[in-house]
Every structure is written in C-alpha cells, then in structure tokens.
A and B are shown apart, each in its own frame.
Chain A
C-alpha cells in the first residue's frame, strides 16, 4: 500500500498560518510526524492560502529540508504545478515524485501528462471532466480509461499512472461509496499489470461523527477491491493498523506476530 500523508495542506489552519508567516517549524513537524507514522509520500498543497509560486517553492523546500520522504506535488493550476516541480527538482535531489492531480478534461490532462513525462513523475488522474464528478460506475470507468489511454500514449507506464475514482462523503452521498468500490474493481482490469488506484480517503468521512471508523472500514474495503494508494491521515494509528492487517489478509505482506511493528519499520 502506498500511503500519502495528507496533512501539509493549506486548508488546515496551522499550515495556512505557517505559510502566511513563512514559519517552517509546524510544516517540518508534520513532515516528520507523517514520515515516522509510515508515509511513503507527503502531499504538499498550498490550498487557498496563496497563489504565489514563491510560496509554493518555499513550502516544498521546507518539507524537503526536514525529511527524505518523497512528495506528491498538489496544486490545481498548471503554472504553479510547474513551479512546484521545478522547486522539487532543485531541493528533492532526485527523489520520486507524484503529480496530484489531473482530471480527464483535455485542457488539463494533456499538459499534465506532458509534465509527468518531463519530470519523470507519477500522475494521479481524477475521473472527472468538464461535466463534473460522475455519479455512476460506468462514467468513472470511461473517464479512467481515457486518462489511462492518454497517459500511456505519452509513454507513462502503468506503474506511473494513479487512477482516482473520487470518493464522496458517506453522510451526504451514501450510494456513491458502493459505486466507488465497483469502479476500483474495474480500474484494476484496465491493463495488466494494472495502474495504481488511488483514493482521497478523508472525503468519505466528511462531517460525519465516526470519522476514524468510517475511514478505516472504507479503506480496507477499497484495498480488497484493488486500491493500492491512499491520501489519508497516516497519523491515525488505528487506520495504519487496519492497513497492515489488510495487507496480511490480501497476502501482500508476510505474517509475523509483531507485524504491526514491522509495518511501521517497512520503509
């Protein structure tokens, strides 16, 4: 399972304040905490705090200085994404990188695939387009197949393509969770070997009361369907324990009595 730590995001108040004040400490603390918790990548997102390339560059530098963990560069505008990747190239010293994210819309998909090729990056493709987010399985799979085709055509191998079926809040769109799981199953059949299948987990529990329980139940079910990547709260110990156990049940990790300790030491 590839776990991407979600916490360095300008939509969190402490990160927003740190970006505004150019205060490295809280950001680096989250970089360390998520790395220690077992994050394979750290998502780094300016959020709505700033539209400045300088700020994004500073944010990426700040994270790179603190930990050797690779980054998923997260922004929804092309020019800033480019600035972010350029900064990461400078400060990340050749670590792997994931671009988070493109949609299936041609005006985004084509240039972002080009960036992924240019920066030797993985690319998360979210299955929505100019018509918005799909409400059924078929549309999700159709857009997933389109993203996969365009990315493959440009030379991205399946291990660099991450399809995201768009997880929606259980509390408000309850019927969508089942559709997402079915879309994951079908994404897994798009190619052999299949692309990565990535979810933004925390959407599932938005505004709910039992957030942690909903998160870990859904993630385990998604893993059983074929999901192998999640942007999530890696500091949720119970979530990490559930992932470690699901990896055993799926026979992806070898059992040992202290497998929870082994899972934390895995990287």
Chain B
C-alpha cells in the first residue's frame, strides 16, 4: 500500500493589501507606467496555497547629489550620469529596466550637503520629467530635516501618486498629513520590531490615513548583519496579516542597496581581501543574495543599486513566480 501523503496546505483568511503607485494623465499625473504590488493570499510564492497576483517590484536607487563613497564596482555604472538625477533615473529605467525609481534625498542630509526644500523639490520634478515610472521618494532619516523638506517635495509631486518615506513612531504627523493632502502613499518605518510596525500603522490610520495607502518598511539588514532578525519580523508580520491582522496587511519594502554596499563583503576590494575573490562578482552577488532572502520573507518592493544584482533578482522573481514552469 502506498503511504498517503497528508495534505498540509494552509488556508488563510486575509489578503495583503494591494498598493498601486503612479498616476497617469487621466488620473491627474504624468506617469506612463503604474506599478501595483501586494494582493497575496498566501505566503510568498506558495502558489499552491493562494494567489500572488503581482510580482515583487524592483526600484533602483538614484540620489539628488553625486555619491562620494560608493565603491568603484558600483560607481562605474553611474558615474557618467550621477551629476544629474534625471539622467541617472533614465539610465536605470532604459538600460537596466527598473520598475520604479527610488529617489533618495541624500543631499538634503545635514551631514552631507544640507540642501533645502526648494532644491529637493527641483530634484523631484526633474526626475518626474525624465522618466515615466512611478517614484519612491526617501528622505534623510533626520526628523527635523525631513519635516522641513517634505512639504515642498510632496507638493512638487502632487498628483503623481508617489511613495514617500519614512514615517516612524516618533515622527509621523507631518508626512501623513502631506500624503493625505497631495494623495501620496507612505512608507511606515519600524526598527526591526513587529510591535512597532503595527503601532506606526495604528498611529497613521488614527489620523484618518487609509491603511491601504501604507507600505511597511521593517528596516533592512545585509546578509551577515542581522538579516535573520529582519526575516523573522517580516515573517511574523506576514503570518499575522494572512490570519487577519489589518494593521499588518500592508506590502513591505526592503531598502537593500544602502545596507549591502556599506558592508565589507561588498565594499572591500580584492587588494584588501584577496581570499574573498573578485569584488566585481562578490559585491553584486552579496546584494542579490540579500534580496533573494527578503523575497522569501515577503518583500514586495526591493530597492537595489547594482545593475547586475537587479538583473539576477529580476530573473529570480520570474522563476519564483513560476513563469514558464507550470
């Protein structure tokens, strides 16, 4: 007698919210492409248990100023364009196929150039004019500075249905009010803590903001630097969401490039660490491997830097979505 294999499929009661970014001309924006993420009714890529209607999207990172500290293996791909965020964004979309552009307003950071609201708004407008994909606009992480620049930034992108971030437990009122007024989506950040992830969402929705307009940023860590902690937070949030927790049912974004390209496994050249092999392969591989793990944890948007990592992760998503397999 063949042994009967028990059916271990799970059934879930709730779906992850869908979030659409970008607005076309008809909708009051100027985007030529929109991106929708979320909507899953089962754990990531468990196609046998539920639906995953939208594949995770890849955003490529663009700065408002030229970075000073990017390693050569990364910098060599962008040095020709990084004096102009519009050209940089265009290259990411046209040459590397980015689904979204993540404009990081690094130049506004007080520890960098400390640029003001008008310069930030100009950068935003310029990128919007240069590409047709939807925009993620990421602040400096300095609460005072973000609250100073976001009013001009949110207004400059008015009607474009961008994803703005981040709000935190201690600083959410200004950006939530701006996203309500100018009809943007918001990134809710929590420090690798599922309880705070839920709390930030409660605080934002308590201001009347729709839970469907939030994307969770559970913070990100590079492979080897606490990735497993973030993984379990994301997994716990996703399981709770699928069981019905509406305050954790938001899609999740992972900010990967900035983490990976800050650790020595990606940054160190082979002259420094010859036993680790060629940096040109090692760096993008570290970024892509980190991204694979977050895909399995439930990431819906991945912010990446290296074109090679982008290409590998896109391929992985295609395979995991079952294209051509079933």
Interface, chain A (partner B; CB < 8 A): 253-259, 261-262, 265-267
Task: Tell me the number of A-to-B contacts counted with CB atoms below 8 Å.
Answer: 42
Q: Are A266 and B244 in contact (CB under 8 A)?
A: yes
- Expressed in whole angstroms, the minimum distance between the Cβ of A254 and any Cβ of chain B is 5
* Chain A hits for B244, CB < 8 A: 266
* Chain B hits for A255, CB < 8 A: 195, 198
Q: Are B246 and A258 in contact (CB under 8 A)?
A: no
* Chain B hits for A259, CB < 8 A: 198
* Chain B hits for A256, CB < 8 A: 195-196, 198-199, 202, 247
Q: Are B202 and A262 in contact (CB under 8 A)?
A: yes
B200-218 near A? 1/0 per residue, CB < 8 Å? 0011011000010000000
Q: Which 9 A-B pairs have the closest CB atoms?
A: A256-B198, A256-B199, A258-B202, A262-B247, A255-B195, A254-B240, A262-B202, A256-B195, A257-B199
- Expressed in whole angstroms, the minimum distance between the Cβ of A266 and any Cβ of chain B is 6
Q: In the assembly, what is the distance between CA of A265 and CA of B247, in Å?
A: 8
Q: Are B194 and A258 in contact (CB under 8 A)?
A: no
* Chain A hits for B199, CB < 8 A: 256-258
- Expressed in whole angstroms, the minimum distance between the Cβ of A94 and any Cβ of chain B is 16
Beyond the given A256-B196, A262-B198, please list 20 additional residue pairs across the A-B interface where CB-CB is below 8 A.
A254-B194, A254-B195, A254-B248, A255-B195, A255-B198, A256-B195, A256-B198, A256-B199, A256-B202, A257-B195, A258-B199, A258-B202, A258-B206, A259-B198, A262-B245, A262-B247, A265-B211, A265-B246, A266-B244, A266-B245
Q: In the assembly, what is the distance between CA of A255 and CA of B237, in Å?
A: 11
Q: Are B203 and A258 in contact (CB under 8 A)?
A: yes
B226-255 near A? 1/0 per residue, CB < 8 Å? 000000000011001000111110000000
Q: Are B206 and A253 in contact (CB under 8 A)?
A: no
What is the chain A residue whose CB lies nearest that of B237? A254
Q: Are B198 and A254 in contact (CB under 8 A)?
A: yes
Q: In the assembly, what is the distance between CA of A1 and CA of B251, in Å?
A: 25
Q: In the assembly, what is the distance between CA of A213 and CA of B196, in Å?
A: 31
Q: In the assembly, what is the distance between CA of A174 and CA of B240, in Å?
A: 38
Q: In the assembly, what is the distance between CA of A242 and CA of B138, in Å?
A: 40
Question: Contacts A253-B245, A254-B248: A265 and B196 contacting too (C-beta < 8 A)?
Answer: no
- Expressed in whole angstroms, the minimum distance between the Cβ of B189 and any Cβ of chain A is 15
* Chain B hits for A253, CB < 8 A: 240, 245
* Chain B hits for A262, CB < 8 A: 198, 202, 245-247
- Expressed in whole angstroms, the minimum distance between the Cβ of B109 and any Cβ of chain A is 29
Question: Contacts A265-B246, A266-B244, A267-B246: A254 and B236 contacting too (C-beta < 8 A)?
Answer: yes
Q: In the assembly, what is the distance between CA of A265 and CA of B245, in Å?
A: 9
* 13 interchain pairs, CB-CB under 8 A: A254-B195, A256-B195, A256-B196, A256-B198, A256-B199, A257-B195, A258-B202, A258-B206, A262-B246, A265-B211, A265-B247, A266-B246, A267-B246
- Expressed in whole angstroms, the minimum distance between the Cβ of B148 and any Cβ of chain A is 28
- Expressed in whole angstroms, the minimum distance between the Cβ of A27 and any Cβ of chain B is 28
* Chain B hits for A265, CB < 8 A: 202, 205, 211, 246-247
- Most chain-B CB neighbours within 10 Å: which of A253, A262, A266? A262
What is the chain A residue whose CB lies nearest that of B241? A254
* Chain B hits for A254, CB < 8 A: 194-195, 198, 236-237, 240, 245, 248
* Chain A hits for B247, CB < 8 A: 256, 262, 265-266
- Most chain-B CB neighbours within 10 Å: which of A255, A256, A258? A256
- Expressed in whole angstroms, the minimum distance between the Cβ of A170 and any Cβ of chain B is 32
Q: In the assembly, what is the distance between CA of A140 and CA of B58, in Å?
A: 57
Q: In the assembly, what is the distance between CA of A255 and CA of B195, in Å?
A: 5
What is the chain A residue whose CB lies nearest that of B203? A258
Q: Are A261 and B236 in contact (CB under 8 A)?
A: no
* Chain B hits for A266, CB < 8 A: 244-247
What is the chain B residue whose CB lies nearest that of A263? B247
* Chain B hits for A267, CB < 8 A: 246
* Chain B hits for A258, CB < 8 A: 199, 202-203, 206
What is the chain A residue whose CB lies nearest that of B200? A256
What is the chain B residue whose CB lies nearest that of A258? B202
Q: Are A261 and B246 in contact (CB under 8 A)?
A: no
B146-173 near A? 1/0 per residue, CB < 8 Å? 0000000000000000000000000000
Q: In the assembly, what is the distance between CA of A21 and CA of B198, in Å?
A: 46
Q: In the assembly, what is the distance between CA of A255 and CA of B246, in Å?
A: 13
Q: In the assembly, what is the distance between CA of A253 and CA of B194, in Å?
A: 11
* Chain A hits for B195, CB < 8 A: 254-257
Q: In the assembly, what is the distance between CA of A256 and CA of B236, in Å?
A: 14
Q: In the assembly, what is the distance between CA of A261 and CA of B203, in Å?
A: 9
Q: In the assembly, what is the distance between CA of A261 and CA of B198, in Å?
A: 11
Q: In the assembly, what is the distance between CA of A255 and CA of B205, in Å?
A: 17
- Expressed in whole angstroms, the minimum distance between the Cβ of B240 and any Cβ of chain A is 5
- Expressed in whole angstroms, the minimum distance between the Cβ of A56 and any Cβ of chain B is 29
* Chain A hits for B246, CB < 8 A: 262, 265-267
* Chain A hits for B206, CB < 8 A: 258, 261
- Expressed in whole angstroms, the minimum distance between the Cβ of A122 and any Cβ of chain B is 14
- Expressed in whole angstroms, the minimum distance between the Cβ of B204 and any Cβ of chain A is 11
- Expressed in whole angstroms, the minimum distance between the Cβ of A246 and any Cβ of chain B is 16
Q: In the assembly, what is the distance between CA of A258 and CA of B247, in Å?
A: 11
* Chain A hits for B240, CB < 8 A: 253-254
